[in-house]
Amino acid sequence: MQRRSFLTRTALGGLALSLPLPAWASQDLKYTIEELMGKANLELYGEGYQLQEEAHLAFQEMKRDAYQDGITIQAVSSYRSYDRQRAIFERKYLQFTDDEGLTPLEAIDKIIEYSTIPGTSRHHWGTDVDLIDASKPTEGDVLVADKFAEGAPFADFKAWMDEHSEDYGFYLVYTDHPRRRGFKYEPWHYSYAPISIPMLKAYRSLNLVRLMDSEDFLGAEHFTTGFLRTYFTDNILDINPDLL
C-alpha cells in the first residue's frame, strides 16, 4: 500500500516536518473565537461524517488502505457544533440531576468523564472523529473502551490504528497513560494533527474562564474559576503530548 507520512519524529520527541511541507508548519494560522467554539459555519466535507477538507481527504485515504487490510473504518461522530454539544451536556445534566438525584456539581463531574463543556470540544474544529470497525457487529453502545481491548470486537481495528493511523496524520487523543488526567481513555477518538495542533494553540490563547462566564446553559451557573482552570488543565490539555 502507498501511505502518506504527514508527521515524523525528531530526536527530541516533537513533531518534525515531512515532505511535502504541511500547510500548518509554515503559516501562522489564525482562528476566530466562533471557529474555536463551534459557533461558526465551517466548510466541511464527507458522507456520513463532517471534517475539514484536508482531514477529510486524509481520512478517505486511511479508510481505503484499512479496507485492504480487512478493517472497515466507520465514523460514529465527527464535527459537532456548539448547539449540538450544548444539547448533549444539558441532556446528561438533567438525567443525572433529575433522574439519578445527583447534586449539580456531582452531575457535572460525571458528565466530564467523557463529554465536554459546550464551547470546549475538539469536535468543534472539524478535525476530530470517533471511529469503529463497521465489519464487526456488536450490541449496545459501540464507544466503550472494553470493546477495543484484546479479544473484543474492535481489537483488530485498534491494532491497525496503533500501527498506521499516524501515517495519515490521525492521533489518538485520550490515551490510556496511567498518569493522564481529565477525560477517560477513549480508544475511538482520533484527531487530525496538522490542523488540530494549531487550532489548540489558538484555543489556548483565549481567556477561557472569561468566555465561559458569558455562556448560558444548564449547569453553567455552578462553574467556579477554580473548577474551570482545573478543567482546562486536565481535560483540554492533558492529552496525547503529540497533539500539543
- Write out residues in the chain with pLDDT < 70, as ranges: 1-29
Secondary-structure breakdown of the chain: helix, strand, coil percentages, each rounded to the nearest 5: 45, 10, 45
pLDDT per position as a tens digit, 146-194? 999 999 999 999 999 999 999 999 999 999 999 999 999 999 999 999 9
pLDDT on residue 30: 85
pLDDT on residue 123: 98
Ordered structural domains, the chain, with CATH: 28-238 (3.30.1380.10)
pLDDT on residue 29: 53
User: For residues 244 and 231, what is the distance between their CA atoms, to the nearest angstrom?
Assistant: 16
pLDDT on residue 21: 35
Residue 97 · residue 103 · CB < 8 Å: yes
Residue 70 · residue 164 · CB < 8 Å: no
pLDDT on residue 137: 87
Reported in sequence order, the residue ranges of 53-163 that DSSP labels E, i.e. its strands, are 73-77, 128-133
Helix (H) and strand (E) counts for the chain? 9, 6
Burial 133-170 (b: 16+ CB within 10 A, else e): beebeeeeebbebebbeeebbbbbbbebbeebbbbbbb
Give the CA distances from residue 54 to residues 65, 158, 178, 231, in Å, rounded to whole numbers and listed in that order. Answer: 17, 23, 32, 30
Residue 164 · residue 3 · CB < 8 Å: yes
What pTM value is reported for the model? 0.87
pLDDT on residue 121: 98
pLDDT on residue 4: 41
